[in-house]
Amino acid sequence: MKAGKITRCAGEFQVTVNEAAPPAQYYVWEKFTADESLDELKVTVLPYLTSMEADLAMLNWFDMLIIGGRIRLETPDMDFAARQWLQAEWSDDNIKTAESPARKAFAAIWGEQQNGNPRNKNYCEMGQNIYKSGYNARRMELLLIRAGFCETEIICGDGVLTAIAHKTMRRGERQIANSYDMIREDHRNRYLFASEFLGADPGMEILDLACGIGYGTLLLSEKVGAAVIGVDIDKGAIAQARRYFNGENTAYLNVDARYADFAENSFDAIVSFETIEHVEFDELLAANFYYWLKPGGQLICSTPNEDVMPFDKQRFKFHVKHYTNSELTDLLENAGFSITAMFTQRDDVAAQVEEGDDGCFTIAVAEKR
């Protein structure tokens, strides 16, 4: 097992991999080993980082862990320290007593601050062990989720916050969040469009294929009022969906689309956004969509528009190809579908769904004849 550790001693950060220092000196927020090379990383230095340093560090720490890798962070618990601070007796004796609640609360919030007395010869103007930020359970979970970590466990005990989280999937192609407000707007807009297009119909049965972490599955179930099954090949994504985006009418399956064994004529609608560009079995996938839909059922799918956003393997490392509008139309019609409408998103960050086919993303609506 390859394990990394980031600690602080005598006012200096120390980075080790399997107990040995890397061959070069690094800032703690920089990558000190190859991407996806660490099984585990232990970190005890978060309070010494500014908020932005911590954000950058967490992203790089995530990248260095393998899929299934684990990060463990320890930091003072600011909720505990704040309560201790408010309850402490602030007297001259307590300030001078290292074990007093007042001194402990001060150290937990601001750091030990060794060599900070200008009267002493060892005074260091820059200070040693001075904290720049603090964490409670809610802020720690947010920091981890924003970086892409899942399966988060946070333990609060005796003034120490211990957080354990896992890298269950790669950041980039997947949205990783625990609430709607962390989802990129163009992704949300596609699901809002689908729910408005389908309308409120509690009797419908809907499949959300390549659902990721399930935010769209839950949104569809809430807006349409229907039963929605979310399917994704990624085990970590489905675990995140079940934890944060579970609803009364949602169900999640971890299965490869090639091997999903839904019966013929199972669904009134299938939604599959940004899927076909990831697979080498696009014809099989389109055929499966047709087989699973009821006669007259609707397929709503999207993909990058090759004419506007040309495929580049370096930029789109998780994609197999992009589709022109005519290629997308041919793919669906060859599977038996009739194209009923084409929509578009004209930018790749916050785009609304509009009628047309000249944007970065094409959204096709097709009917099973």
Amino acid at site 318: F
Angle at the Cα of 71 from the Cα atoms of 65 and 77, rounded to 5 degrees: 155
| pTM for this prediction | 0.82
Pairing verdict, β 361-368 and 293-304? antiparallel
What CATH number belongs to 1-168? Answer: 3.40.50
3-state secondary structure of 346: coil
Q: How far apart are CA 214 and CA 230, in angstroms?
A: 7
Q: What is the pLDDT of residue 127?
A: 65
336 Cβ neighbours under 8 A, 6+ residues apart? 290, 368, 369
Listed in sequence order, the DSSP H helices in 88-150 are 92-96, 101-110, 137-147
> How far, in whole angstroms, is CA 120 from its chain's centroid?
48
Question: Is the C-alpha dihedral spanning 231, 301, 316, 214 positive or negative?
Answer: negative
Question: Is the C-alpha dihedral spanning 331, 334, 335, 340 positive or negative?
Answer: positive
What CATH number belongs to 181-368? Answer: 3.40.50.150
Q: Which of 140, 138, 141, 147 is nearest to 169 (CA)?
A: 147
Helices (runs of H) and strands (runs of E) counted in the chain: 10, 14
Q: What is the pLDDT of residue 170?
A: 87
Residues 270, 210: contact at Cβ < 8 Å?
Answer: no
Q: How far apart are CA 301 and CA 311, in angstroms?
A: 18
Pairing verdict, β 38-43 and 150-157? unpaired
* C-alpha torsion 169→170→171→177, nearest 10: 0
> How far, in whole angstroms, is CA 335 from its chain's centroid?
34
Q: Which of 78, 73, 139 is nearest to 107 (CA)?
A: 78
- Please determine whether the domains at 1-168 and 181-368 fall in the same fold group of CATH: yes
**String of DSSP letters for 245-260:** S--TTEEEEE--TTT-
Domain layout of the chain by residue ranges: 1-168, 181-368
- pLDDT (tens place) for every residue of the chain, 369 residues total: 899 999 987 678 889 899 887 766 778 889 999 999 999 999 999 999 999 999 999 999 999 999 999 999 999 999 999 999 999 999 988 888 888 999 999 999 999 887 778 888 888 776 678 999 999 999 999 999 999 999 999 999 989 999 999 999 888 778 888 888 889 899 999 999 999 999 999 999 999 999 999 999 999 999 999 999 999 999 989 999 999 999 999 999 999 999 999 999 999 999 999 999 999 999 999 999 999 999 999 999 999 999 999 999 989 989 999 999 999 999 999 999 999 999 999 987 778 999 999 999 999 999 998
